Structure 1
Amino acid sequence: MAYKILAINWRDIKNPNAGGAEVNFQEIFKRLVDRGHEVTLLCSRHERRFPEEEHIDGIRVVRRGNRNTFNFTVPGVYRREFRNEPFDIVLDDLNKIPFYTPLYVRHPLFVMVHHLHGTSIYGDTFLPAALYVHFMEKIIPLFYRGVPFVAVSESTKAELVKMGLRDEDIEIIHNGVDHDAYTPDESMRSAAPLVVCVTRLKKYKGVHLLLQAMEDVKREIPGVKLVVAGRGDYEPKLHELTHRLNLNGCVEFAGFLGTSQKVDLYRRAHVVVNPSAKEGWGLTVVEANACGTPVVAAEVPGLKESVIRGETGLLYPHSDIKALSTSILSLLKDERLRNRFGARSLELAKEFTWQKATDSIEAFMEQVVHGWGGAKS
């Protein structure tokens, strides 16, 4: 049963700030297109070189408004351009500031949530903006109670329930991994000790904490290298910190990497680190695992589910620089431990596929449409 689907997200996959939420959407919904569904994505306009409308992997991408005020743009665009179109279902991909779609969307509706910023936003932006984002998240239950939700992890579901949404309205559907692309190749493993971090360069992602930990790591292993892949508005501060810590010869900022470049980096790494204050689940963790590389991660919501302590990697208390450096050193110095974690990582990564995630989203949408009373004949 093919559906006509409208999705609303702040960003599309070509947006320079695209992250795990956008990868999740693209991987699942391009597969839904392959199954005969028709998908339109409404998102914000970013660089002017990208057109207002185009098709990406069969998904019609409609760009309107801008990155700062897109949430105010959406209601008017929906009413003018989409309200009278025969969509079977609408996805509110809740990532950052909510769109409050239940106030104006008249099609069957569901929401997908990766993670909420909560109080972590206060460390990532100036106070007025942080207060605004935090308040907009806090009032989600006032407008979304009773709407079907998909959460990508148990941690995210627990957050939603704690803030006032009903447990029975939330289904957990994990992210997947493209196992055709993310595969191991031990012949590519770096001869020199290599630490890798793949993330958006935002303050809450914690790369500054990793840089501080690398001081200790470098003292014990002078030949160690750190490659940081990703872009973001915190990058200038990270360059300054690298210089201040005298790590210029140790740290490389690789910028945004395509899939094949990212796979090569995971394969070369001895350990991948995710020092974020919060994640929805930890897509880069499982990508690294699928390449046979163990992970050191902060013990925070999302990451403490995607990393299995003592099996696929190590967890440490967030912001504990000494514990982070100790965890990295323990893996760099112990090849047998790395190999054991790497083998177990490969096993567990196989449980997460985009095919499985697509199956689950497709079944969930059918429940929503039928529950709405709008099932197609």
Structure 2
Amino acid sequence: MGYKILVFNWRDIKNPEAGGAEVNFQEIFKRLVERGHQVTLVSSRHNQSFPEEEWIDGIRIIRRGNRHTFNYTVPKVYKREFTRASIDIVVDDLNKIPFYTPLYVRHPLFVMVHHLHGTSTYGDAFLPAAIYVHLMERMIPLFYRGVPFIAVSESTKSELVRMGLNAQDVRIIHNGVDHDSYTPDSSAQSREPLIVCVTRLKKYKGAHILLRAMEAVKKEIPGARLVITGRGDYEPKLRELTRNLHLNGCVEFAGFVTTKQKVDLYRRAHVVVNPSAKEGWGLTVIEANACGAPVVAADAPGLTESVLPEDTGLLYPHSDVKALSKAIIRLLKDKDLRERLAARSIQWAKDFTWQKATQEVEAFMEQVISRRTGR
């Protein structure tokens, strides 16, 4: 018999700001639905054009509140609509400001964490907002101690433990990859040297570092091109920097791309770059690897686990523009290295599937319910 699962997350998969955490949720929980479970997700309503309720991949989506105050909306929604409901387990998808669910949730509970923002918010938000988010995260051990956690990487687990949570309460379950969609095709590779960056256009994601590195790459390899996908509030600054560096002719901002378009870019790419200051795991790294693209990434939390240096890609010291440009140039010039990394990348990506992640989450969920209810 399947479980009735209630999930709280700031965003659902249709939210324009949805990222790796939302993809992770959608891929795992839609498969839990296929395995006979009932899933309800309560998320914020991005704007009035979004319906208050809809079904996506068999998951019931309920939208309440807004993106600024959703953490205050969650306790009210739970108490009003779900306290007496027939729910087997509640999932707190902790992303951004915590909901502090242990204070009011009476059902069996566990927490999923993609990554914590920590000090990265200080370069990405107004100072008062950054301080607020940082302080709210620092209070996690005070309210969540003893609650079971799932983290997507050793980096995230280590950060939780450093904050004061018990290591035995945190289980690592990696993201998967949709291997039906993300497949290699070496014949699709671009004739011209192509660099691809799939990201959200936020300052901490580091696209500005890549643009500065591109200036040196262009001098060394004049035919090189860069495609940056995604949207975000840092886009105007990035476009301005592109103009100032005289890179308009070789840099394309592709905006939002579908899965099909993203796969096409990965297949065409000679190298995929992730210059982020922090990731939960690096979902785009493994997606690129599954398509046969080697990755150059910052030696940042999460990325140091998803990239195997000199095996599936290259790491460089975060924010070091010169080191990044050297790594890109090295890969673009060394075809043998590129092909070796690409071949190993494909094999590495095969270790990560959504089916495996779903089975691990399901087993974890059963343990949480059994521990709480004795059944």
- Judge same fold: TM > 0.5, yes or no: yes
Task: Report whether the alignment pairs 1:151 with 2:136.
Answer: no
Q: Measure the CA separation in 2 of the matches of 1:142 and 1:47.
A: 33
1:114 is aligned to 114
Q: Measure the CA separation in 2 of the matches of 1:338 and 1:134.
A: 40
1:335 is aligned to 335
Q: Measure the CA separation in 1 of the matches of 2:22 and 2:271.
A: 25
2:360 is aligned to 360
Q: Secondary structure at the match of 1:324?
A: helix
Task: Report whether the alignment pairs 1:85 with 2:85.
Answer: yes
Q: Provide, for residues 209-239 of structure 1, a one-character-per-residue CA deviation record: whole Å limited to 9, x for no partner.
A: 0000000000111111100011111111111
1:18 is aligned to 18
1:210 is aligned to 210
Q: Secondary structure at the match of 1:280?
A: coil
C-alpha deviation, 1:125, in angstroms: 1.0
Q: Which amino acid aligns with 1:61?
A: I
Q: Which amino acid aligns with 1:163?
A: M
For residues 165-180 of structure 1, the aligned pairs below 5 Å read 165-180=165-180
Whether the 8 Å CA contact 1:154–1:172 is kept in 2: the answer is yes
Q: Which amino acid aligns with 1:268?
A: R
Q: Provide, for residues 195-214 of structure 1, a one-character-per-residue CA deviation record: whole Å limited to 9, x for no partner.
A: 00001111000000000000
2:275 is aligned to 275
Question: What percentage of residue pairs aligned between the two structures are identical?
Answer: 75
Q: Secondary structure at the match of 1:240?
A: helix
Whether the 8 Å CA contact 2:12–2:22 is kept in 1: the answer is yes
1:36 is aligned to 36
Q: Provide, for residues 284-319 of structure 1, a one-character-per-residue CA deviation record: whole Å limited to 9, x for no partner.
A: 000000000000000011000000000000000001
Whether the 8 Å CA contact 1:198–1:228 is kept in 2: the answer is yes
Q: Secondary structure at the match of 2:112?
A: strand
1:163 is aligned to 163
Q: Secondary structure at the match of 2:42?
A: strand
Q: Measure the CA separation in 2 of the matches of 1:222 and 1:285.
A: 26
C-alpha deviation, 1:374, in angstroms: 5.6
CA RMSD of aligned residues (A): 0.7
Structure 2 segments unaligned to the other structure (5+ residues): none
Whether the 8 Å CA contact 2:196–2:266 is kept in 1: the answer is yes
C-alpha deviation, 1:49, in angstroms: 2.1
Q: Provide, for residues 239-262 of structure 1, a one-character-per-residue CA deviation record: whole Å limited to 9, x for no partner.
A: 111111111111101111111111
Q: Provide, for residues 332-353 of structure 1, a one-character-per-residue CA deviation record: whole Å limited to 9, x for no partner.
A: 1111111000000000100000
C-alpha deviation, 1:48, in angstroms: 2.3
Structure 1 segments unaligned to the other structure (5+ residues): none
Q: Secondary structure at the match of 1:60?
A: strand
C-alpha deviation, 1:119, in angstroms: 1.2
Q: Measure the CA separation in 2 of the matches of 1:245 and 1:227.
A: 16
Count of residues in Structure 1 that have an aligned counterpart in Structure 2: 375
For residues 206-355 of structure 1, the aligned pairs below 5 Å read 206-355=206-355
Q: Measure the CA separation in 2 of the matches of 1:48 and 1:309.
A: 46
Q: Which amino acid aligns with 1:49?
A: S
Q: Measure the CA separation in 2 of the matches of 1:48 and 1:334.
A: 51
Q: Which amino acid aligns with 2:129?
A: A
C-alpha deviation, 1:186, in angstroms: 1.0
Task: Report whether the alignment pairs 1:104 with 2:104.
Answer: yes
Q: Which amino acid aligns with 2:52?
A: E
Q: Measure the CA separation in 2 of the matches of 1:173 and 1:252.
A: 35
Q: What is the TM-score with the length of structure 2 in the denominator?
A: 0.99
Q: Measure the CA separation in 2 of the matches of 1:70 and 1:217.
A: 43
C-alpha deviation, 1:47, in angstroms: 3.1
Q: Provide, for residues 169-211 of structure 1, a one-character-per-residue CA deviation record: whole Å limited to 9, x for no partner.
A: 0000000000000000111100000000001111000000000
Whether the 8 Å CA contact 2:47–2:66 is kept in 1: the answer is no
Q: Measure the CA separation in 2 of the matches of 1:295 and 1:47.
A: 36
Q: Measure the CA separation in 2 of the matches of 1:351 and 1:176.
A: 8
Q: Measure the CA separation in 2 of the matches of 1:106 and 1:256.
A: 40
Q: Provide, for residues 38-85 of structure 1, a one-character-per-residue CA deviation record: whole Å limited to 9, x for no partner.
A: 000000001322210000000000000001111011111111111111
Q: Secondary structure at the match of 2:304?
A: helix
